[in-house]
Structure 1
């Protein structure tokens, strides 16, 4: 079972993490899970850019041990660009919190749980 404690964070970083967690909770993107629930869990990481904006990530590197190897090759960029060159339309979508809009199978949700000073979330 994978259980990683939260990384230490400064008071300022904790405030930013709280802001992001509360925003994701308000959007019903994540939910708080009980402390008694047996969980496989990893920690969240706050990345701050030079302009002062920040983004909350999960450190899911340990999940690589659970993952099966890809059975298909990664597309090559020149091949993808050749296909796009012949296209009549190209779509570009910018979604708020786009990563969180990807569907996850219910039995995989437990692998995407994170922990921070505020609690555990999935």
Structure 2
């Protein structure tokens, strides 16, 4: 830090117009983000596994989310499906053509997304 940037023994001149100084007591050293340096940091949960039709745990309750992934060089649309009488931790990513009663559930899912977007 240059001497010109110091505006006192405990403050540095900043780029903010409203309050152009920043207390040095709030400045902390920067560390690279490595997992071992931040063991308490929350990590993204692993995505639910992809299932095929024969692995389906029962009838579909609702479709929660959609995603597009690249599989074997081709884009594939998958849906996060919640099955009836199952908890949210049992949700699974299912290919579009592998959803039991897919047409009905996909119509409901797409309609709900349209209404959510129109209310924003």
Give TM-score, length-normalised by structure 2.
0.22
User: Which structure features the higher share of strand residues?
Assistant: 2
Which is higher, the Rg of structure 1 or of structure 2? 2
Return the structure number with greater relative CO, CA threshold 8 A, min gap 6. 1
Q: TM-score, normalised by structure 1?
A: 0.22
